[in-house]
Structure 1
Amino acid sequence: MLVLEFVSTVRATRSGPVDGLSDTEGTTAWCRSHAAELGLPSDFTASEELRREVVELRQAVRALFARAVAPGPASRADAGRLPGFAAALGLVNAAALAVPMAPRLEWPDDGVPVTANVPAGEAEESARVRAVLAGAAIEFLAGPDRERLRSCLAPPCVRYFVKEHPRQEWCSVSCGNRARAARHYLRHKAH
């Protein structure tokens, strides 16, 4: 899911949280890896202004995710640095409204017809990217998957994930292993 990949541009390593959008090179690489979904050319290059605007939107979406998982814990990556709920909601809605989107029918010669949401008119690159990302966030948060959204409980993970089965507590097998190892260490350290 695009929106989960977007909020997961903040991740944890052994040395602490890492922001995949901390510079224009990282933002360019992430946008290029999602060029088709974002309606970008394969040779897209992010400007510093676009990077700042996309990061601001990501923080707003992460704030909405934090509210969606409540009363469970929010991601530890940036819970203290997120905008307030009203500001986050306003920013996401404004980004989505900045570029009206319309469905377009695409029918490849060798395939089945599919729809794609495309800008209804001309728009600058940053506004288009943010509109697609904000639209993905709105669709996700208003949809049924929101109820299964969780923050990974494994130390030091900072990701959000969609819970696939009732006993799932972590975003990945490696996070589950890390959490079990940490619990084992704490139990045996106490003795």
Structure 2
Amino acid sequence: MSNREVRVERWPALELASTIRHDGNGGVADDLATLDDATHWLHQQVDPADITVDEQLRSELVELRRAIRALFAHAVSPAPPSRADANRLMPLDQAMTHLNAAAAREAIVPQLTWPEGGTPRTDVLSTEPDGNVRLIATLARAAIDFLSGPHREQLRACNAPRCVRYFVKTHGRQEWCKPSCANRARAARHYQRHNTTATGERGRS
């Protein structure tokens, strides 16, 4: 067995879902749109050792993202899903099947490690030699852990104008994924109130 493991961010499923994002100009950007895009994103997220970024891996990441975003949309229901793909989501049963199949591609064995004088921890041992397979399986298992864990209850689709991200609500009054979205949402509300008031005054004149 090998202790090779693909290490990813705290919420890798959320990071993968967020490769669909607002482009800053009123449209939607895709960080996995091309092989160069996918390479850049992966090198920001994971240790690239043993990973070959090719068109097959990019395609597998895109399909896994589709499944995760469909499951995220289900998780935030009855609130509306992200506007980016609300009308073309993968069917729920297909998304679960795809996610589970991706996770099952790598056989792993948890092992207890307890260094002298230290804290016990769980290491994951794998017999899978292919780094790309390990990456897809790791991301899929992370999505399963996220969706079956406590953070799912705090998952939200940002409703700021033009934003298409999902985010984890970290405090009680949080409505948007980041401060720039909060500012944009407040500006839109102010404009709407001002426009409604001005329209009403014109109607009375």
TM-score normalised according to structure 2 size: 0.82
Per-residue CA distance 1:66-87 (angstroms, 9 max, x = gap): 0000001101111222210000
In structure 2, the residue corresponding to 1:150 is in which secondary structure? strand
Change beyond 3 A, Cα 1:24–1:112? farther
Q: 2:22 aligns with which of 12, 15, 30?
A: 12
1:96 maps to amino acid:
A
Per-residue CA distance 1:47-70 (angstroms, 9 max, x = gap): 111101110000100000000000
In structure 2, the residue corresponding to 1:117 is in which secondary structure? strand
Counterpart in the other structure of 2:176: 170
Q: How many aligned positions are there?
A: 185
Question: CA contact under 8 A between 2:158 and 2:164: conserved in structure 1?
Answer: yes
Question: CA contact under 8 A between 1:28 and 1:45: conserved in structure 2?
Answer: no
Per-residue CA distance 1:80-127 (angstroms, 9 max, x = gap): 22210000000000000111223356789xx97654435x21243332
1:160 aligns with 2:166: yes
Pairwise CA distance, 1:30: 1.6
- In 2, Cα distance between equivalents of 1:142 and 1:187: 40
* Unaligned residue ranges in structure 1 (runs of 5+): none
Calculate the aligned-residue CA RMSD, in Å: 2.1
* Unaligned residue ranges in structure 2 (runs of 5+): 1-10, 199-205
Pairwise CA distance, 1:180: 0.5
1:87 maps to amino acid:
Q
- In 2, Cα distance between equivalents of 1:101 and 1:107: 19
In structure 2, the residue corresponding to 1:80 is in which secondary structure? coil
TM-score normalised according to structure 1 size: 0.88
For residues 85-164 of structure 1, the aligned pairs below 5 Å read 85-103=92-110, 114-118=121-125, 120-164=126-170
1:82 aligns with 2:82: no
Q: 1:34 aligns with which of 37, 45, 50?
A: 45
- In 1, Cα distance between equivalents of 2:77 and 2:45: 29
